[in-house]
C-alpha cells in the first residue's frame, strides 16, 4: 500500500538566484506488484517509449540462447552511435542474420545503423529469424513481432488496459499507468537485466541518467524513455518510474535523488545539475525544492 501520497516532485531551474522554469515530476515505487510510495498520481498515464526496450528484448532472449550479453544490451539500448555501440549493432545484425537494408527505422546522419534504436530493430530481426516470421513489415502493429511485444508488456504489467501508438523509430509504443510501468520494469528478465548491467555504456552513454544509475548503484537496472521517463529496478525487486510532466529530461536527475531519499535510499549521487554558459561558467542549477 502507498505509505504517503505527496504532490509531484517540484524541480526548479535557477539562473542566478531567480527561478526561470519549473518542472513537475510524477514518481512511483512498487514492490511485488503493490505501490509503496508515490509523488503525485500512481495512475498517471504515459507512453513507455524506449523504456520498454528491455521488455521488448525478452522474447529475443528466450528464443536466441546463442546471443551474448553485448547483443542483449544493444537490443535494449538507445545508443549515441559511438564506435563501440555501432560495432555492437553490426554484430547483432550479423547474428540475425540481416543487413542494414533490413532495418525499418529511419536513417540518422545518413545511416540506419546510427539511429539510436537500431539495436532494438536488429534484435527484432533476430527474433523474426528465430520465429520464422517475415522480416518485411516487422515494425507494423499487425506483424507477429509487434504482437509479441504487446503481449510481453501486458504480461509483465498485469494489465491489458493500455493504448498504443507509433514510436519515433516506427514500431509500436505502449501507454499505461505509471505504477503498471514500474511493475513491468521490476519484472524484466534477469538475463536481459544482467546484460544491461554488464554494458551500461551501451544503453545510452556517458553522463546519461540510466547509464549513470547502473554505474553508481550496484545491481540496479535502468532505462530512460523519450519525453522525460525513467524506469529503474533494484536488485531486491523494487521498481520505480519517474515521468516529467512536460517531457523535460533535465528534471529527472534531481527528482530521482529526492525520490530515492524518500524511499530510505541514498539519493545523494543524483543532486542538482549545474547550468553553464558558453564560457563554461556556472550560471545556475536545476534542483529540487
**Rounded percentage of the chain residues whose pLDDT exceeds 70:** 98
What's the average model confidence in pLDDT over 2-13?
A: 80
Residue 279 domain-assigned? no
Q: Provide the whole-model pTM.
A: 0.96
Residue 221 cell numbers, joined:
537496472
Structural domains in the chain (count): 1
Whether 1 has a pLDDT exceeding 50, the answer reads no
Whether 198 has a pLDDT exceeding 70, the answer reads yes
Mean pLDDT taken over the chain = 97
Query: In terms of residue numbers, what domain contains 57?
Result: 41-242
The Cα 251–Cα 219 span in angstroms is 24
Question: With bands split at pLDDT 50, 70 and 90, how would you rate the model's confidence at 6?
Answer: confident
Question: With bands split at pLDDT 50, 70 and 90, how would you rate the model's confidence at 45?
Answer: very high
What's the average model confidence in pLDDT over 214-228?
A: 98
According to the 3-state scheme, what is the secondary structure of the chain?
A: CCCCEECCEEEEEEECCEEEEEEEEEEEEEECCEEEEEECCCCCEEECHHHHHHHHCHHHHHHCCCCCHHHHHHHCCCCCCCHHHHHHHHHHHHHCCCCHHHCCCCCECCECCCCCCHHHHHHHHHHHHHHCCCCCCCCCCCCHHHHHHHHHHHHHHCCCCCEEEECCCCCEEEEEEHHHHHHHHHCCCHHHHHHHHHCHHHHCCCCCHHHHHHHHCCCCEEEEECCCEEEEECCCCEEEEEEECCCCHHHHHHHHHHHHHHCCCCCCCCCCEEEECCCCCEEEEEEEC
Residue 120 domain-assigned? yes
The Cα 58–Cα 15 span in angstroms is 44
User: Which has the closest alpha carbon to 58: 191, 159, 180, 186?
Assistant: 191
Question: With bands split at pLDDT 50, 70 and 90, how would you rate the model's confidence at 5?
Answer: low
- Listed in sequence order, the residues at least 6 apart from 192 whose beta carbon sits closer than 8 Å to its beta carbon are 54, 57, 58, 61, 72, 76
CB atoms within 10 A of CB 101: 8
Residue 260 domain-assigned? no
Prior bond of 94 cis (ω within 30°): no
As to burial, measured by CB atoms within 10 angstroms (0-12 exposed, 13-18 middle, 19+ buried), residue 69 is middle
**Rounded percentage of the chain residues whose pLDDT exceeds 90:** 97
What's the average model confidence in pLDDT over 231-255?
A: 98
Residue 23 domain-assigned? no
The Cα 279–Cα 179 span in angstroms is 42
Whether 109 has a pLDDT exceeding 90, the answer reads yes
Residue 86 domain-assigned? yes
pLDDT of residue 213: 98
CA angle 47, 207, 213 (to 5 degrees): 65
pLDDT of residue 3: 46
Considering only residues 161 and 73, tell me which one the structure prediction assigns the higher pLDDT. Answer: 73
pLDDT digits (tens, 9 = 90+) for 128-180: 999 999 999 999 999 999 999 999 999 999 998 899 999 999 999 999 999 99
Residue 118 domain-assigned? yes
What's the average model confidence in pLDDT over 31-41?
A: 97
What's the average model confidence in pLDDT over 172-191?
A: 98
Residue 282 domain-assigned? no
Whether 197 has a pLDDT exceeding 60, the answer reads yes
Question: With bands split at pLDDT 50, 70 and 90, how would you rate the model's confidence at 289?
Answer: confident
What's the average model confidence in pLDDT over 97-123?
A: 98
What's the average model confidence in pLDDT over 53-82?
A: 98
Amino acid at each position: 500500500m502507498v505509505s504517503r501520497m505527496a504532490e509531484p516532485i517540484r524541480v526548479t531551474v535557477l539562473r542566478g538566484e531567480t527561478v526561470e522554469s519549473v518542472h513537475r515530476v510524477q514518481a512511483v515505487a512498487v514492490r511485488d506488484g503493490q505501490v509503496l510510495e508515490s509523488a503525485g498520481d500512481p495512475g498517471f498515464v504515459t507512453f513507455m517509449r524506449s523504456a520498454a526496450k528491455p521488455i521488448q528484448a525478452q522474447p529475443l532472449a528466450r528464443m536466441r540462447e546463442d546471443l551474448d550479453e553485448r547483443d542483449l544490451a544493444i537490443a535494449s539500448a538507445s545508443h549515441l552511435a559511438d564506435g563501440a555501440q555501432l560495432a555492437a549493432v553490426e554484430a547483432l545484425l550479423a547474428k540475425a542474420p540481416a543487413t542494414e537494408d533490413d532495418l525499418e527505422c529511419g536513417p540518422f546522419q545518413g545511416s540506419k545503423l546510427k539511429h539510436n534504436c537500431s539495436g532494438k530493430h536488429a534484435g527484432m530481426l533476430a527474433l523474426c529469424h528465430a520465429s520464422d516470421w517475415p522480416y518485411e513489415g516487422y515494425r507494423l502493429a499487425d506483424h507477429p513481432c509487434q504482437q509479441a511485444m504487446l503481449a510481453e508488456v501486458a504480461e509483465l504489467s498485469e494489465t491489458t488496459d493500455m493504448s498504443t501508438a507509433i514510436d519515433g523509430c516506427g514500431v509500436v509504443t505502449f501507454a499505461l499507468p505509471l505504477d503498471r510501468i514500474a511493475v513491468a520494469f521490476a519484472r524484466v528478465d534477469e538475463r536481459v537485466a544482467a546484460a544491461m548491467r554488464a554494458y551500461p555504456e551501451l544503453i545510452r552513454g556517458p553522463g546519461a541518467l540510466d547509464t549513470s544509475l547502473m554505474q553508481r548503484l550496484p545491481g540496479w537496472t535502468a532505462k530512460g524513455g523519450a519525453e522525460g521517463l525513467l524506469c529503474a529496478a533494484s536488485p531486491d525487486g523494487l521498481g520505480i518510474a519517474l515521468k516529467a510532466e512536460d517531457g523535460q529530461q533535465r528534471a529527472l536527475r534531481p527528482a530521482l535523488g529526492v525520490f530515492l531519499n524518500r524511499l530510505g535510499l541514498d539519493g545523494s549521487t543524483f543532486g542538482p545539475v549545474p547550468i553553464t554558459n558558453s564560457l563554461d561558467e556556472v550560471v545556475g542549477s536545476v534542483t529540487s525544492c
